Amino acid sequence: AKAGDIVKAGAPLFRLHTRHLAPQLAEAKGQLLSREAAVRSAEARVATAKAGQNEARINLGNAESMKDGRGLSVEEMTRRRTALESANAGVTAAEAAVAATRADVSAAGATVEVVSTDLARSTVTAPIDATVLQVKLRPGEAVIAGPVAQPYLLLGNTSPLHIRVDVDEHEAWRVMPHTAAEASVRGNAGLRASLRFVRFEPYVIPKASLTGAATERVDTRVLQIIYELDAAALRLFPGQQMDVFIQTDS
């Protein structure tokens, strides 16, 4: 994004380098495909084991259904029972292998999701419909994932414009909602715009010394009032200081 751009919510503002994430994502997707193939192979082994189990069950059932018990030797009956038990154990082991490979697929899928999320987070998007007021980033510049003294980008909704008015606490009692007010441009008092009352900021605060230093204070406390600015005929910029005149009864 560039200063002056009008962006919609969700529009990309800047992107971090993701060269290290692309190979990680490719590797994670490869692991996922491999483990999905392992699941299919394990499921095939379950089908084979169940077929062997069914065959062993039929063989034992045939032997046990013979009316003449002398048709098969004791050793053969024992062998068929043992074959069925072995087939049952094989099915259990194959099903456990399927469960294990499915767990591996879930883990691989989670890895893909994590890397994909990191990729998505590498693109910083606009949280609101706004105008880009400042850009303090350049290609190749390092950024910090945490609080910084100055924001990398400054966004604001400039339609309509609002003005924050500081009224000395000793005069605050004179200001009533919805009273007439107007603002004039500093340097040209003839450029005036009417104001529409929006709200009071109900907490009286120390007045900031408007010198550009965020920590400077003067020995005055003020009530802040927000007005909407009807500036269709004026060429105003966000952050610009104006002189405001509020109509009072006394």
Contact 191, 184 (CB under 8 A): yes
pTM of whole model > 0.85? no
pLDDT digits (tens, 9 = 90+) for 205-238: 888 766 555 555 566 889 999 999 876 767 888 8
197 CB-side CA count, 13 A: 14
Instruction: Please determine, for residue 145, whether its predicted confidence score (pLDDT) is greater than 80.
Output: no
Distance separating alpha carbons of residues 152 and 141, to the nearest angstrom: 11
Cis bond upstream, residue 12 (ω within 30): no
pLDDT digits (tens, 9 = 90+) for 3-58: 889 999 999 998 888 888 888 888 888 988 998 898 889 888 888 888 888 888 88
Angle at 62 between CA 60 and CA 66, to 5 degrees: 115
pLDDT band at residue 245, thresholds of 50, 70 and 90? very high
